[in-house]
Structure 1
């Protein structure tokens, strides 16, 4: 594999893992904006789209027409899902998202977003650049930057294992395969008995008629699940709220949803008629008994457990549950693995506008691997990004903890810290207020070496930040319009 004299590799054969939005735009940008001999993408499902691909089946094996066994991976998407990002922010450069003709509901639906991604992917599906039904089992680093050994199962051929070596690998998966569960006493027992599920398994309110349900969480998924449940479940539907909601997670007040404090512990009990039920004890000491199910809409984390890297000539998992704060460690600019920059990540951070962030980061990667964008040439230099981010994260957390309830905390940030508890948005993996400067910094690097890309890439300016923040009010208005229409239709 060719490399520059200063140690920045220039791979020629690149494999992308994951056919969701991040992987698809990385494929386009590495193919069309880089200088490589071969770029391929593998996706374990039978279609592209990732989290935007509705798959109502659970994680089980389904018999295929040839008599073999093909696995089917559930998507966190659910029927009736509507996005929270306007078309102006939900697109890839040079591929605008079609305008919606709904003045009172301008946010794209699940099916519209899925169709957008399928149209975007079609040329690469047609020319064979995307291999579907191909599950990556392991990605192992080879010595001396000599590439990555990738073991895959080809489910087009009944699951036969295939081994390939690539100069470089882009990991474009990692979040939505890894549900976050709170560390609650008694939770593991509930999971084993089917009395607790994660929001990833939510597939709409069908089957919940008359059920007594608690939803844990206060973000978009929890709000959607609770609002869908009230039409069929036993009233009230309980929603466990640890802290006040982040401004971007808008929802309408509903007297049928009863907010309670955080759950302290939970246990399985047997009712007088022999049914398995749940009892929870809340942080305020109150208890809820007779629950049929607890749904944990408590988020996800990046955790590509299939990647192993060399440490003193021994392969070790790239990520560990013990890493604090939780993150994919040693990654420069949230993109390049610092010890060996032939491993890269697209979508390793949570962003308000994930499509455009994936677009600019994979464009940056394409030009970096082509030798046009220069980055620190030593491992230590590349690690400086992580060191600085950890310091800043600690300083930010300290500020909010020390100044909670004072005038030093702006009104629009009052919910960052509640009763001495920091919001999950003070997190290494979440860009939050750093999104605009982070993306603009990547864009500046890009346009310095490829000025023509400045015509197609968005700018992350103060005006764009204000426009993006305005989406929350528009979402609230859209929810009100949908509610009013529903009331009118019922009448």
Structure 2
């Protein structure tokens, strides 16, 4: 059997990157080809959080009794010892972190016997999502003890969904590297059939052995469902990189927050950001002080400083508190030798020019880097005969019409030799994560993401600006090779619901017949498949332009209808109007905001068209999908959460007064 070799026209009709563009994806040609067929036989799900669990359930479900098809052949790999993703907070790792002083910037944690990947959650976490939006179709969320489910209640729900799937789960299996294999010709006898994907070579490490055992396998398709919390996001401001290196006990990220213990007694604490994590951390610190020291601030106590990038957003509820002081965002960090010869003293400069000296703890609640898949290698060009020979020599061979096969002799050394010889065959799907660097520190203005200038040609869309997983169909599946999918890429206000819908849509695509005949649900051209990407790109261009125009108007004092313009990217702190940075999600490619519900409805409507019996499941019924009612109920979660926070504070205050009265009597 032979595979299609290069004819000089590029990879399946796509122009090839130059040698100087190996860090980008191939630029799209003006003549995109038809969709490749899927013909799925063996599927890998990467990540055992909510998206991975519901994907496995939906892929395996036997629908033959309803007129559908039997389940897909799928397995889930999870690198931790249990499923649950961020909702699984194992006690042993917590104990180890407590013993070592809650170390920041160490992930995974290496012990003499194993690697540990702690969840970014914390025991006191209480969500801000109603149970209705934490329900997978056909599996209602058990009524929580309070209005909003706790970390433990959500983990129990996920465990109940995962329990019947255990035979298809491999824990302590870490996916290290993935390579797209060359396309295969259509199967003989299928007139008009499309080329078949060659599938994916997957390198994993079995973490149940010490040292870990390297394994290499072939899969026909992959759905990536890891949490987006792997890589914390930091602003690249002067002094931060040096502070992280020289004062690690003073620089923290919300990813490593577990408890208020290291912080609440400290004199000067700065929490950066006013999103979910930063608001929660600040509230827990002042709440602990209130319980220990009383309602009124005691002599010598300093307020918790909250450094703001922007005005408060309704979906991140927070209560005012006399123990807070809001300050502008941080633009610089300086270190000074300390008197006690321990870590250096930490000073921060704010956007207003104010300098805050002797900071004990600087906690960054600045989110995460979304969509980092630099460990996934996709084809950059069509293979040559020498490429095929190099693959075969390494132990990746063709087995007739069955496609690629991974031979037993394949190992890390042989693969390293092969990938060196095949270096130009692959390109990273995305750039690697970015962290502050001492030699490339930028001003605070550099925090504002850059969007490529618009152009009538599609080429600018193929550069990796804005940062994203590029060339996707409906934000969740490769438009070039549909056997690559992303079950948890979109950052969602209702991630459980979205993951359920996405995985059902992925199954619908993957169980389609491997031909170009009727019934293939994907659009026929590459440009049509990536339509949502192009629309999103231009949305971000407009958003950025509006932000910049609004900021200039506000700072110049221009007025409309006798009322001062105050756009969201201008923040007023202590009476001073400052140009603010937009909420981190506003210019993030994979945060769809108001476009999320229409996309969810599109997924639902598509698979119900082919599988009408699913309409009877709780979570998919028509009466639950009135768009106005649904969106109104979702948005009410945040105002209700603020009321809930106020009730909790009132109850704590009443309890404290009763305790004080009983003590005095």
Same fold (TM over 0.5): yes
1:88 aligns with 2:132: yes
1:445 aligns with 2:606: yes
Aligned residue in 1 for 2:285: 229
**Cα 1:31–1:236, aligned 2, differ >3 Å: closer, same or farther?**
same
- State how far apart, in whole Å, the 2-side matches of 1:48 and 1:119 are: 11
Superposed, which structure 2 residues align to 1:139-288 within 5 Å?
139-144=178-183, 145-158=197-210, 159-193=212-246, 194=248, 195-211=250-266, 212-230=268-286, 231-232=288-289, 235-275=302-342, 276-288=344-356
**Cα 1:37–1:483, aligned 2, differ >3 Å: closer, same or farther?**
closer
Aligned residue in 2 for 1:477: 643
The alignment partner of 1:164 has SS state of strand
1:368 aligns with 2:509: yes
The higher relative CO (CA closer than 8 Å, separation ≥ 6) is in: 2
- Unaligned ranges ≥5, structure 2: 1-33, 64-68, 98-107, 184-196, 293-300, 383-424, 433-462, 513-518, 572-578, 658-665
CA contact (8 A) 2:86 2:227 kept: no
Aligned residue in 2 for 1:295: 363
Stretch of structure 1 that moved more, 136-145 or 320-329: 320-329
Stretch of structure 1 that moved more, 148-157 or 81-90: 148-157
- State how far apart, in whole Å, the 2-side matches of 1:134 and 1:273 are: 45
**Cα 1:148–1:78, aligned 2, differ >3 Å: closer, same or farther?**
same
Superposed, which structure 2 residues align to 1:23-422 within 5 Å?
23-32=52-61, 35=70, 37-55=72-90, 56=94, 57=96, 59-63=108-112, 69-102=113-146, 106-125=147-166, 128-144=167-183, 145-158=197-210, 159-193=212-246, 194=248, 195-211=250-266, 212-230=268-286, 231-232=288-289, 235-275=302-342, 276-300=344-368, 301-313=370-382, 314-320=425-431, 323-371=464-512, 374-403=521-550, 415=568, 419=579, 421-422=581-582
1:423 aligns with 2:423: no
- State how far apart, in whole Å, the 1-side matches of 2:570 and 2:467 are: 19
- State how far apart, in whole Å, the 2-side matches of 1:357 and 1:431 are: 12
- State how far apart, in whole Å, the 2-side matches of 1:407 and 1:115 are: 53
Stretch of structure 1 that moved more, 262-271 or 399-408: 399-408
Shift of 1:425: 3.0
- Unaligned ranges ≥5, structure 1: 64-68
Determine which of 451, 464, 468 is the counterpart of 2:634: 468
CA contact (8 A) 2:311 2:570 kept: no
The alignment partner of 1:26 has SS state of helix
**Cα 1:414–1:98, aligned 2, differ >3 Å: closer, same or farther?**
farther
- State how far apart, in whole Å, the 1-side matches of 2:361 and 2:580 are: 30
Shift of 1:134: 0.7
The alignment partner of 2:358 has SS state of strand
Stretch of structure 1 that moved more, 292-301 or 421-430: 421-430
- CA deviations on 1:43-91 (whole Å, 9 max, x unpaired) are 000111111111425532234xxxxx22101211012000010101111
Shift of 1:6: 6.0
Aligned residue in 1 for 2:189: none
Aligned residue in 2 for 1:11: 40
Higher strand fraction: Structure 1 or Structure 2?
A: 1
CA contact (8 A) 2:550 2:569 kept: no
Shift of 1:431: 1.4
CA contact (8 A) 2:127 2:150 kept: yes
**Cα 1:237–1:323, aligned 2, differ >3 Å: closer, same or farther?**
same
Shift of 1:417: 6.3
Determine which of 595, 600, 610 is the counterpart of 1:434: 595
Shift of 1:165: 0.3
What number of residue pairs does the alignment pair up? Answer: 474
Shift of 1:209: 4.6
Aligned residue in 1 for 2:400: none
- State how far apart, in whole Å, the 1-side matches of 2:208 and 2:495 are: 31
The root-mean-square deviation of aligned C-alpha atoms, in Å, is: 2.3
**Cα 1:424–1:344, aligned 2, differ >3 Å: closer, same or farther?**
same
- CA deviations on 1:237-286 (whole Å, 9 max, x unpaired) are 11100110221000111111111101010022223343422100000000
Shift of 1:142: 0.6
Stretch of structure 1 that moved more, 184-193 or 373-382: 373-382
